A and B are shown apart, each in its own frame.
Chain A
Amino acid sequence: MKILVCIKQVPDMESRFKLNSEGTWYDEADLAFRMNEYDEYAVEQAVQLKERLAGEPEITVLSLGPDRVVEALKKALAMGADRAVHVKDDKYYQKDPWQVASVIAGHAAGQGYDLVFTGMQSQDRGSAQVGVTVAELLGFGCATTLVGFAYEAGVITAKRELEGGSKGVVKLKLPALVTCQLGLNTPRYPTLPNIMKAKKKEILVQPVSELLKEAEVTGTGGMYPPAKRGGGIVIEGEVNDQLDKLMGILKEKTTVLRAA
């Protein structure tokens, strides 16, 4: 079995974001980057499957982006992936989800992958399109938002998270692509011996120009911080003073504390 895991490197979401000079994306200076949280579940699920199948599957991890994404690829290798593909693209943020999916499908076509794992979305762009689109381009069965995964004799039984806590159970045959949601598993921390082993694993670098065949179908107009809602009061200072002000406001503006 050949497995592909698609990962993205994204900024720490606790960061303060500034815009780039064109106002079309965030400025990457001063940001700390890490593996997209949803993709960590994808890597973990692939490695768990490999372990359960006694190490038979070969796991390739792929990321599109500038040189820094090699760090995310190395983490995936240290978690248990066998080899990595870095699709090098300094202007990755100018590609729309359709182009990103086309590039991944361009890599995957002819490689004989049986199973592809992706996160359900990236934490920065959040389009939730790339995984499903890759599946469509490859003609693979696809299930999204997995919170449960089981594999037996060429058939995946997946639990999809639906609204309100219910789940939808689906079965799909290989070849297939699944997108992973929080709660699917607990991603492992790479151990020191595995980090050392990962240093010897292959990272193939391929320029994006070799894989990109499609024009964009959506573009970014502009990017900006959200407008603050008018009327919202910000209270800073010492806790007791803050409390005095808050209780006054609650008594005046709401009915919930009047009886108290």
Chain B
Amino acid sequence: MELSVLWFVLVTVLFIGFFFLEGFDYGVGILLPVLGKNDTERRVLINTIGPVWDGNEVWMITAGGAMFAAFPHVYATMFSGFYLALFLMLMALIVRGVAFEFRSKDENPAWRTTWDWLIFFGSAIPALLWGVAVANLIKGVPINANMQYVGTFFDLLSPYTLVGGLAFLLVFIFHGAMYLTLKTTGEMVERARKAAVKAGVPAAVFCLMLVGMTYTNTDLFASTGAGITLWGAVVLFVGAYAAVYAKRYGLGFTLSSLTIAFTTVAFFWGLFPRLMVSSLNPAWSLTITNASSSQYTLQIMTVAALALVPVVLVYQGWVYWTFRKRVTAKDLEY
């Protein structure tokens, strides 16, 4: 396999890891003010992701770093082109990260409420923006012959990309609720289930709209594999919904995770071998060939990634195992 193909796959894997892991902790963050009726409940909710959210976020940082190293032109075009959207996302991630650390360090209710809302916005904004970003990548954005983005911030917002954003947001809320059914106890489990049932309906509607509009707005279905995978994601989502309805929580979370993984695979599959589509001229799209690093750099990075990613998976998995117990109001010393 060509190394640039391998790196395309690796970037896809990093995005699957990122959307799957941060998907549920964004979801928990968004559900925080909805499900947490009092301070203790909100602390329980935060503690379900407390030990792991930071490690989850590293998947995004690594995806960014991997794109910089393997496809520097994509990194340059996308990050400068999506400037204001990224600025918004960074602001959200800054306040979110600090909020997790700061909110419980003072008793003042106003202090805590402020940080809780920052967790909410800090989770909702990136969830929405990532959906918008992914939809834009495949729909195509105005990129000229010099690989420069020549549109404005508002060119990134179209009915299709907004549907993409809302679909991501709603699926992440559903996914977060599914995670909470596994990590909380007592009445909270039932509350999380209700949230999943409620969020699941609009999520399903927007997922279907996303798939439908993907037919008209993109060439994703030109690849049969990508098309089948995207429909597969919809089927998996329906399965997840049925599972949560039947209170089969483990199955439900597995299926919602797979929904996210399948969606990510479908979009990257549809993109391949492009990473960013030019809406001005197909020849100006950024591909794994014209946007990639040198063969030498790819070789070095391949050795590093193949040696290190499995190790990361092992210890990250082990930490999840260590914190596998449900969180109750009793263990809130932190």
A, B from the same assembly? no
Interface residues of B (CB under 8 A from A): none
Interface residues of A (CB under 8 A from B): none
